[in-house]
């Protein structure tokens, strides 16, 4: 079976890395994952979040001032 080129190019982050980047607690990241707001892949007992999904979430959640 060949690798999906899109998956091969994906970069994943740990919950701790996402929490640090977003400056929130790990529990907040877990809540976002469990609510479906932030997609993640389960690897054993932990989650990995696609870096692009974090960037998309932050971009879509950004509220600039007018």
Residues 7-64 pLDDT 10s: 667 899 999 999 999 999 999 999 999 999 999 999 999 999 999 999 999 999 887 6
Buried b (16+ CB within 10 A) or exposed e, 10-45: eebbebebbbeebeeeeeebbebbeeeebebeeeee
Report pTM.
0.81
Crossing angle of helices 26-35 and 15-22, in 10° steps, is: 110
pLDDT score, position 2: 58
Rounded to whole angstroms, the maximal C-alpha distance in the chain is 50
Domains (range + CATH), the chain: 5-61 (1.10.1660)
């Amino acid at each position: 079976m060949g690798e999906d080129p899109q998956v091969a190019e994906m970069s994943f982050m740990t919950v701790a890395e996402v929490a640090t980047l977003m400056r929130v607690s790990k529990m907040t990241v877990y809540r976002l994952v469990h609510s479906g707001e932030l997609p993640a892949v389960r690897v054993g007992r932990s989650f990995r979040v696609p870096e692009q999904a974090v960037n998309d979430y932050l971009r879509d959640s950004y509220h600039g001032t007018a």
